Chain A
Amino acid sequence: MTAHRRIDASKIGDVTVVRFVDKKILDEASIQELGVELFGLVEQLNRRSILLNFANVEFLSSAALGKLITLDRKVKAAKGRLKMSNIRPEILEVFQITKLNKVFDIRKDEAEAIAAFQ
């Protein structure tokens, strides 16, 4: 298993569940690292069903949104599926403002998201 510093990845069935280590995803260097680790799930570890659980995340900047968009594109290109869950209202608002809620598959909680992979 690849060592991760910015994410904590575990498997529930076929789904790779990703939790974020940082409460605030805004530091440019951390966001770079986060991108490398997320993309590695698809490109190195060949994960095709990925759930990002945002329960721990209190804040994210537009640079972090950029990484999520790129991840979404990579997963779609690999014919995989990406879902997101447990997003707090302030961050959901950010997704709505930028209309990324139309691009991302956003579910209320982890259980609902896992069920949606079946």
Chain B
Amino acid sequence: MGTHAAAGEPAGGSADEWRRDYELPSERGSSRLVMDELLEQLGVHGWPPSDIFGIHLATEEAIVNAIVHGNKFDPAKTVRVACAVSQDRARIEVTDDGAGFDPASVPDCTLEERLEVPSGRGVMLMRSFMAIAYNARGNGVVLEKRRGPLPG
């Protein structure tokens, strides 16, 4: 774990990008180790509350999926989370030690017959609030959100 200063970038724009990598235990609630600082940094970088809500939700769902479905709570496995936040971009990469999965195999939770199934909404929420891309193995996902031109 460590904070990597974005050295050598020009002043202004994304020069003030905040980056931090985390390694989380495969336990319930360990997303908190990331979230407090991530939310604070989104605020520091001027992201509006509605965007922060969406990034929070998408990141939470990705980390919970990694712990529960990826690592299946195996204490020998960890979840890596790499965060990068600037004024115009938030990027969060979540990788687990699991076998991976095919995101296309997740049934559509909004189908009439699945509306009342109490699980299976995480990936849809991630996709609704951020752009997401899984790696080939399906054990890692990149979540990204870009902000439109700033006023003024």
Contacts and interface: CB of A to CB of B under 8 A. Distances in A.
Interface of A: 26-29, 59, 61-63, 65-67, 69-70, 72-73, 89-90, 94, 97-100, 102-103
B53 A90 contact: yes
A66 B118 contact: yes
B121 A98 contact: yes
A67 B64 contact: no
B82 interface: no
Interface string B96-131: 000000000000011000011111011011001000
Most B CB contacts (10 A, CB to CB) among A61, A89, A100 go to A61
B107 to A, nearest CB: 13
Given A59-B57, A98-B110, A28 B119 contact: no
A51 B107 CA distance: 30
Contacts of A70: 118
A81 to B, nearest CB: 16
Decide if the interface of chain A is mainly helix, strand, loop or mixed: helix
Interface residues of B, number: 25
Contacts of A103: 115-116
A26 B58 CA distance: 12
Interface of B: 28-29, 31-32, 49-50, 53-54, 56-57, 60-61, 64, 109-110, 115-119, 121-122, 124-125, 128
B64 A63 contact: yes
Given A28-B64, A98-B121, 18 more contacts: A26-B60, A27-B32, A28-B28, A29-B28, A61-B57, A61-B64, A62-B61, A63-B64, A65-B118, A65-B121, A72-B116, A90-B50, A97-B124, A97-B125, A98-B109, A99-B109, A100-B115, A103-B116
B54 to A, nearest CB: 8
A28 B116 contact: no
A109 B56 CA distance: 26
22 contacts: A26-B60, A27-B28, A28-B28, A28-B29, A61-B64, A62-B122, A63-B64, A65-B118, A66-B121, A69-B116, A69-B118, A89-B50, A90-B49, A94-B57, A98-B109, A98-B110, A98-B121, A98-B124, A98-B125, A99-B110, A103-B115, A103-B116
